[in-house]
Each structure stands twice: as structure tokens, then as C-alpha cells.
Amino acid sequence: NAGVTQTPKFRILKIGQSMTLQCTQDMNHNYMYWYRQDPGMGLKLIYYSVGAGITDKGEVPNGYNVSRSTTEDFPLRLELAAPSQTSVYFCASSFGHPNTEAFFGQGTRLTVV
């Protein structure tokens, strides 16, 4: 059972480039989340999804886009990378009420130069 898998683990982008961070889960979870964690800071919610076809903004959605075409996948898109997006990105998923435990991926370390 792989759980939550994120790719890539590391990436360096140039300013203005775009990329997609991939996240997939094999637990048939309804809920999926994207967080960013800046150095010395906590996790900030970027976007979340409560099921296929449904996405919602979190605390810091600007500069990002998401889609949820399947239950398994929840990719995060950066269209025009900026240095402020240098961070560690975490994807997570949960089954939903009443079993609301969130399972996390290993993270993607992104540097924008």
C-alpha cells in the first residue's frame, strides 16, 4: 500500500517557468489537500478537494491551480513561478468524516531562482 505519493521530490525552477506537482493516493480517500511549508513556519493550506470534480481555495491559493478529475489524483500547477513560491509542498488525503485522519506525502522541495 503506497499511501500518498508525491513527485518530484526536488525541483529547481527559473522565474516564470511553470510546472505541475503530482500527488496520487491509493486509499480511495475523498479529501485531498495541498500545503506549503516555508522555513520555520507551519503548514499553510493552498487548495483542497472534497471529491472528484470539486476543489476549494485554502489560505494561500494565489499563484496556484489545482484539478481533481479522479479520486486518486490531485495535481498542483504553478503557472509563473516566483521566488516567493520557494517552499516545501505537502500533499495529504483523508477519508472524511468520521475518519478524518490525514495521511501525508513525503513532500516536494521546490526552489525558484
Find, among 55, 61, 14, 9, the residue nearest to 32 by Cα. Answer: 55
First to last CA, the chain: 36
CA–CA dist 49, 32 (Å, integer):
5
In the complex, the smallest distance separating the C-beta of residue 37 from another protein, rounded to whole angstroms, is: 9
In the complex, the smallest distance separating the C-beta of residue 61 from another protein, rounded to whole angstroms, is: 12
CB nearer to another protein: pick between 81 and 91:
91
> 57 is written with which cell numbers?
481555495
CB nearer to another protein: pick between 14 and 98:
98
Judged by the rule CB under 8 A, the positions of this chain that interact with another protein are 31, 33, 35, 40-45, 48-50, 56, 58-59, 90, 92, 94, 96-98, 100-107
CB nearer to another protein: pick between 14 and 28:
28
- Cell 476543489 locates to 55
